[in-house]
Structure 1
Amino acid sequence: MMYELEQRVQQPNSNQMMKMDVRKKIHVHIADHERNKGFDEKKLEVVDLSGMSLDSLPNPSLNLAIICKLDLSNNNLQNIPESLTARLLNVMVLDVHSNQLRTLPNSIGCLFKLKLLNISGNLIECLPKTIENCRALEELNANFNKLNRLPDTIGFELVNLKKLSVNSNKLAFLPHSVSHLTALRILDARLNCLRSLPDDLENLINLEILNVSQNFQHLETLPYSVGLLLSLVELDVSYNKIRSLPNSIGCLKKLQKLSVEGNPLRSPPVDVLEQGLHAVKEYLCHKINSDSSPKKKSSWMGKFVRYGTFNGHSRTQEREGFIMSEYRSIDGLASPRYMSMFSPRRLFSPRNYFGH
């Protein structure tokens, strides 16, 4: 059953009358269930209070445990009562998009069955850490808010998350724990202020769509691990400041769409980009093979000799501008002549400590 709340024709703009309608409608329908004291929990209901221009929620004495979906979208709500959220024990879908919310209640962590949370189009700056307790969550839509960070450990807990949408916020980075969202299929972080991505993205073994476009002057590089996302089908990095794509992208066998326009790319060059995705992957694969050619390695002993560790002469003093006026070789410092330099009395004397 869907709870549709009708506006009164006589006073279509009256919030007070709307609230009375809300109370009346919900009371009537919930009462039908509670007449049978042992109501069947499998017969859960949908409550739709969207588009009512509500600036606060009524607090009737209802059994909220029978609600599986609560739609409070397109209102003027500035907060959601902690007590209300804590009683939504069976809610699986909570939609509060397009309100005036600045925070979410901490009691949102009580929603153990929650699978979809839509908080887009609000004024939220950070998510409560308790959201990590919503381990059944499969989709989180936090687009068009003012988020400047995500909880540091969010990726360690939301193990069932399949879609994470945080576009149009103020995120400067994604927490490293995001790379532990192994069930994730879609990651949308466009239109933020991202400066970098986590290094170990290869753990996102099911990720199919990655969109980090339009971070404009902030995002200049992509980690090598982007090319290790073996399930990736779409990659959008357009309108950033990226100068070169990781060679590893050439290994993405399932990649079907690559958007790179609006970047000052030097690698691959423009003539390769104009030939399409196949040419780009071929070019990057060739670079991988070229870079993997064997190179002559200098021995560690040679480095010691080059930097003068065993002969008492330091070339780094001249070449790198190191200032070591009393440089001594290892043998020299270990000799009895210099042992007194490391005595506790000398090391911890006030004269040496304050440079006198």
Structure 2
Amino acid sequence: MSRFKRKDNADTLAGFRTKNTEPTVPYGLLQAARKSGQLNLSGRGLTEVPQNVYRLNTDTPEEAQQNVSFGASDRWWEQVDLTKLLLSSNQLTQLSDDIRLLSGLITLDLHDNQLSSLPGALGELQELQQLRLGHNQLSSLPVEVCTLRNLCSLTLQQNQLENLPEELGQLQNLTELDLSNNHLKCLPASLGCLTSLQKVSLCHNKLNCLPDSLSQLTNVKLLDCSNNHLTDIPASLSGMLSLEQLYLRHNKLSRLPQLPAPALKELYVGNNQIELLETEQLTSLTAISLLELRDNKIKILPEQITLLHTLTRLDLTNNDIGTLPACLSLLPNLKVLLLEGNPLRGIRRDLLTKGTNELLKYLRGRIKEEPEKPDERQTAMTLPSQAAVNLHNIKTLKILEYSDKQADSIPDELFDASAHKGIVTVNFSKNQLNSIPPRLLELQSSLSDINLGFNRLTCFSPDICKLLQLTHIDLRNNQLSDLPPEMMNMTKLRSIVLNYNRFKSFPEVLYDILSLETVLLGNNQVCGVDPGRLMKLVHLSTLDLSNNDLLNIPPELGLCTGLRCLSLEGNPFRTPRAAIVAKGTDAVLEYLRSRIPT
């Protein structure tokens, strides 16, 4: 009898082992998914999706067959349909047609698997808004996907796509399309029908040209076409009226594209074959703030560059430029000028290493000043306070400069000479100022740029917050630990530099300045940041938190998708690992998003 029992027991166990060959999901996860409508199966080593996941909405739960009582939180008959299914970072090679059973899905994440094809049944998920298919082995996109009329985000990066169906143009609610790192040689003309698009990534493909239909994408703010085989950019792209950032790095362009796109602020055309900067192309960049021309073959910088009044950053690294026009110093907003790797003549090497301000100062000195009237010449002489009033700077360049004097106050004569002159820029850096000169308020109607770096400021006077025209303020290398709440009234402020101060936390008031585009807080003692409040800064594109005391990076920071430059190196956090940080901003943000708990 005992032997028969053992035999019966052995058969029963074998039966269980047979059933367990199908991948399973912990019952508790399924039970929770019925209540929340969300199921996260990322990183579980799955080679296929378990059948009980597909049938989550249709099968009666196990507890319904049992004679038990239910509390308010366990009523299986009140379950909700699955709306979010995360299957990323597994080993899936195929997806069953049974995916159609999950008809309520809004988000489906399949990125980082081994999918080589997709079932047509995906087209039945008509509620789907987010479809993430990046980092797979897809060679084609089924036409059925193009019928998902509610789809807002489609990411297909790092696949093996060689072409796209013409029906792609049916996805008229799409706001984000990522086709980077594929094998695309051309794009369907119907791409121009996706008029809701705001962000398009086409980098790292084999594109030889761009379709004229892109001009219909009037809501696109970011277009990345880097690392392709483009030899020209169609002038029709100027019809992209909302375009703010255009990436054309690592192509085969021989000339700067002529793009009078009215909102274009950042143009990246580094690593091309541009030899000549033509006046027509330069003058079309009416709103440009950042122009990257590095690693080209430019020999001459034309004087028409001074027409780019909004330019703040100009990168000419590794070109063939021999001389610089002195008029370059007349650009009113230029903050960063990069010239390394050029065979410049007539400019000392040590001058290049001193930074943009010193170089522009040198170039301004080469501009021949117009002869002054006799009484004005006397004003330009050294005054009793030893303040050399540069009338050319004040009257022509609208700059009030008194830097590198090691002074603990600014002479009144400078402010007297600047009265009613429409001063735009003030540079009082590299002094010994303990407080901000109160007479700055006399310039409040026109002043947009202040440099108070390298002083001894311990506090920021609330009175200075009355300078409502300010767009840029540099406070680096001071002793500041806080900023006044009155700064929230500075609604035009676009960039603030606070490196090398004594901040122990992210200044609270900066969360409320919605116009901010650049915040530099490196080399402080900041130990935390609120990603939820950062997300409200919709214009923020550059955030420097390097060399602080951040012990952990909140995953929600990955939702700040507007960031194009996020610096985190030099902090004591363990994750993300240094290898991920080294890959750059996009990799860090993607990693952080993958760690957001569901």
If the length of structure 1 is used for normalisation, what is the TM-score?
0.69
1:45 corresponding residue in structure 2: 129
How many Å separate the matches in 2 of 1:181 and 1:221? 25
Residue type at the aligned position of 2:327: S
How many Å separate the matches in 1 of 2:40 and 2:252? 36
Q: Residues 61 and 202 (structure 1 numbering): CA distance in 2 closer, same or farther, change over 3 Å? A: closer
Residue type at the aligned position of 1:212: L
How many Å separate the matches in 1 of 2:341 and 2:39? 47
Alpha-carbon shift at residue 142 of structure 1 (Å): 0.7
Residue type at the aligned position of 1:209: L
How many Å separate the matches in 2 of 1:242 and 1:272? 16
Structure 1: 5+ residue runs without aligned partners?
Answer: 34-40, 294-356
1:300 corresponding residue in structure 2: none
1:104 aligned onto 2:220: no
Alpha-carbon shift at residue 119 of structure 1 (Å): 0.5
Q: Any conservation in 2 of the 1:65–1:87 contact (CA below 8 Å)?
A: yes
2:254 corresponding residue in structure 1: 172
Once the two structures are superposed, the pairs formed by residues 126-137 of structure 1 within 5 Å of their partners are 126-137=209-220
Of 272, 275, 296, 1:192 maps to 272
Alpha-carbon shift at residue 8 of structure 1 (Å): 5.0
How many Å separate the matches in 2 of 1:198 and 1:64? 45
Residue type at the aligned position of 2:235: D
How many Å separate the matches in 1 of 2:183 and 2:308? 37
How many Å separate the matches in 1 of 2:213 and 2:166? 12
Q: Any conservation in 2 of the 1:165–1:188 contact (CA below 8 Å)?
A: yes
Count of residues paired in the alignment: 273
Of 306, 322, 325, 1:246 maps to 325
1:138 aligned onto 2:195: no
How many Å separate the matches in 2 of 1:5 and 1:109? 36
Of 168, 173, 181, 1:90 maps to 173
1:334 corresponding residue in structure 2: none
Runs (4+) of structure 1 exceeding 3 A deviation are 1-8, 10-14, 27-33, 267-272
Structure ranking higher on relative contact order (CA contacts 8 Å, 6+ apart) = 1
Residue type at the aligned position of 1:159: L
Of 136, 154, 161, 2:237 maps to 154
Q: Any conservation in 1 of the 2:48–2:91 contact (CA below 8 Å)?
A: no
Q: Any conservation in 2 of the 1:227–1:247 contact (CA below 8 Å)?
A: no
- Give the secondary-structure state (helix, strand or coil) at the position aligned to 1:120: coil
Q: Residues 69 and 277 (structure 1 numbering): CA distance in 2 closer, same or farther, change over 3 Å? A: same
1:74 corresponding residue in structure 2: 158
Q: Any conservation in 2 of the 1:247–1:285 contact (CA below 8 Å)?
A: yes
Alpha-carbon shift at residue 277 of structure 1 (Å): 1.9
Q: Any conservation in 1 of the 2:105–2:128 contact (CA below 8 Å)?
A: no
How many Å separate the matches in 2 of 1:87 and 1:66? 10
Q: Residues 2 and 57 (structure 1 numbering): CA distance in 2 closer, same or farther, change over 3 Å? A: farther
Q: Any conservation in 2 of the 1:153–1:175 contact (CA below 8 Å)?
A: no
How many Å separate the matches in 1 of 2:350 and 2:192? 52
2:442 corresponding residue in structure 1: none
Percent identity reads 29
- Alignment deviations for residues 51-81 of structure 1 (CA, whole Å, 9 cap, x no partner): 2211112233773210011111111110111
Once the two structures are superposed, the pairs formed by residues 179-218 of structure 1 within 5 Å of their partners are 180-200=260-280, 201-215=282-296, 218=297
How many Å separate the matches in 2 of 1:131 and 1:213? 26
How many Å separate the matches in 2 of 1:148 and 1:214? 16
1:258 corresponding residue in structure 2: 337
Residue type at the aligned position of 2:242: N
Q: Any conservation in 2 of the 1:268–1:280 contact (CA below 8 Å)?
A: no
How many Å separate the matches in 2 of 1:116 and 1:107? 16
Q: Any conservation in 2 of the 1:46–1:69 contact (CA below 8 Å)?
A: yes
Residue type at the aligned position of 1:129: D
Q: Any conservation in 2 of the 1:120–1:143 contact (CA below 8 Å)?
A: yes
How many Å separate the matches in 2 of 1:32 and 1:163? 33
How many Å separate the matches in 2 of 1:108 and 1:2? 32
Alpha-carbon shift at residue 182 of structure 1 (Å): 2.4
Q: Any conservation in 2 of the 1:4–1:48 contact (CA below 8 Å)?
A: no
Structure 2: 5+ residue runs without aligned partners?
Answer: 1-36, 50-89, 107-125, 372-598
If the length of structure 2 is used for normalisation, what is the TM-score?
0.42
Q: Residues 162 and 62 (structure 1 numbering): CA distance in 2 closer, same or farther, change over 3 Å? A: closer
Alpha-carbon shift at residue 241 of structure 1 (Å): 0.4
How many Å separate the matches in 2 of 1:266 and 1:272? 12
Q: Residues 154 and 10 (structure 1 numbering): CA distance in 2 closer, same or farther, change over 3 Å? A: closer
How many Å separate the matches in 2 of 1:86 and 1:223? 42
How many Å separate the matches in 1 of 2:278 and 2:38? 43
Residue type at the aligned position of 1:127: L
Q: Any conservation in 2 of the 1:3–1:48 contact (CA below 8 Å)?
A: no
How many Å separate the matches in 2 of 1:103 and 1:254? 39
Q: Any conservation in 2 of the 1:56–1:78 contact (CA below 8 Å)?
A: yes
2:47 corresponding residue in structure 1: 9
How many Å separate the matches in 1 of 2:253 and 2:140? 29
Of 199, 213, 228, 1:116 maps to 199
Q: Any conservation in 2 of the 1:137–1:161 contact (CA below 8 Å)?
A: yes
- Give the secondary-structure state (helix, strand or coil) at the position aligned to 1:225: helix
- Alignment deviations for residues 244-277 of structure 1 (CA, whole Å, 9 cap, x no partner): 2233320123222211011111254435434432
Q: Any conservation in 2 of the 1:117–1:139 contact (CA below 8 Å)?
A: yes
Alpha-carbon shift at residue 231 of structure 1 (Å): 2.3
Residue type at the aligned position of 1:181: A
Alpha-carbon shift at residue 105 of structure 1 (Å): 0.8
How many Å separate the matches in 2 of 1:61 and 1:220? 49
- Alignment deviations for residues 214-245 of structure 1 (CA, whole Å, 9 cap, x no partner): 11xx2212232323322222211010001122
Q: Any conservation in 2 of the 1:228–1:249 contact (CA below 8 Å)?
A: no
Of 139, 148, 160, 1:55 maps to 139
- Give the secondary-structure state (helix, strand or coil) at the position aligned to 1:288: coil
Q: Any conservation in 1 of the 2:319–2:341 contact (CA below 8 Å)?
A: yes
Residue type at the aligned position of 1:69: S
Alpha-carbon shift at residue 110 of structure 1 (Å): 0.5
